[in-house]
Amino acid sequence: MPVQRNAGSVGGQFGAVIVNILFCGDVMGRPGRDAVKRYIPELRRDFALDLVVVNAENAAGGNGLTERLCGEFYDCGVDVLTTGNHVWDQRELINYIARDPRVLRPANFPSGTPGAGWRLHPFDDGRTALVINLMGRLFMDALDDPFARLDAILADHPLGCGPTAILVDMHAEASSEKMAMGHFADGRVSAVFGSHSHIPTADAQIFPGGTAYQTDAGMCGDYDSVIGLQKAPAVRRFVTKMPGERPQVAEGEGTLCGILLETDDASGRACRVEPMRIGGRLTPHRPRPWPTANSAGAGSA
């Protein structure tokens, strides 16, 4: 349940009620799953997280997601699972997704695609957070227009009148398309966070309209790799231009890579956004759990 606390510049007479959200980028195989299982329970407690969203499109050996792995994510404190172009790599998900509304596939897949592209996640107090999964079209499969799809979803669920917070996972190859989506949605959603590139970007910020943005959350997985795959075969393929062996997930210690978001529950706008990197090889960055009056609204990266 969102908790009331003094949040400095965003506070009203009695201080704002802050909604705490964590979004983690693409979970790559076992090292990514292990990082999520190891760190999410303590982050959930330390940051009083109201909502944890994880992109799980590569959770099953780098290719897709299974029912069993969905259960493992929920057991460790994940609320909603987003996906992307790898969503159907494990065929069992085609049937399972219709039975589990907590797993999303991109909302701009053609009409008639199994599953849902957005989820109203209920808080204990009856309010909701809206999670929307979109996919880009530059250098990716041709899909329906993600911008028009977002407009249609928001027409039914305007920020501040319906959902307490709205989080968009923009799963896309091109940084330009992700950033365009961020500005397109500015002021109408709490955050647009990118996924798919498996590399965290250093551009966390709050746009003028109050929408938090980061081009890519980064991968949860082993960074001694080529975007989560064993490096030697991946490098060899670039050098020789020969197909070689089937790519395998790199099995070293994984880094949990995500973004911490804090929103004002009255307006739904972001008041803090900061990257989260724990474990493995990447330089760690762990935000302080409670911002001071001076840091609230700073949107540091």
Q: Contacts for 98-105 with beta carbons within 8 Å, 24 or more apart?
A: 100/67, 100/70, 102/70, 102/74, 103/56, 103/65, 103/70, 104/80, 104/131, 104/133, 104/169, 105/133
Q: How far apart are CA 215 and CA 23, in angstroms?
A: 13
For position 30 contacting Fe ion by CB under 5 A, the verdict is no
CB atoms under 10 Å from CB of 27, counted, come to 32
Catalytic residue from among 86, 171, 196, 198:
86
85: contact with Fe ion by CB under 5 A: yes
Among the listed ranges 34-42, 55-63, 66-74, 133-141, the one in contact with Fe ion (CB under 5 A) is 55-63
Q: Is 136 in the site for Fe ion (CB under 5 A)?
A: no
Q: How far is the CB of 34 from Fe ion (least distance, A)?
A: 17
The answer to whether residue 58 forms part of the interface with Fe ion (CB under 5 A) is yes
83 binds Fe ion, rule: CB under 5 A: no
Kindly state whether residue 105 participates in binding Fe ion, applying the rule CB under 5 A.
Answer: no
34 binds Fe ion (CB under 5 A): no
Asked if residue 196 binds Fe ion (CB under 5 A), the reply is yes
b vs e for 95-108, b when ≥16 Cβ sit within 10 Å of the residue's Cβ? ebbeebebbbbbbb
Which span (5-13, 63-71, 194-202, 251-259) binds Fe ion, by CB under 5 A? 194-202
171 has catalytic annotation = no
Distance (Å, whole) CA 214 – CA 210: 13
Closest alpha carbon to 31 in 253, 223, 196, 217: 253
90 sits near Fe ion (criterion: CB under 5 A): no
Number of residues that bind Fe ion (CB under 5 A): 5
Residue 58 CB, nearest approach to Fe ion (Å): 5
Distance CA 178, CA 196 (A): 11
Q: Which residues bind Fe ion (CB under 5 A)?
A: 26, 58, 84-85, 196
Residues forming the active site: 86
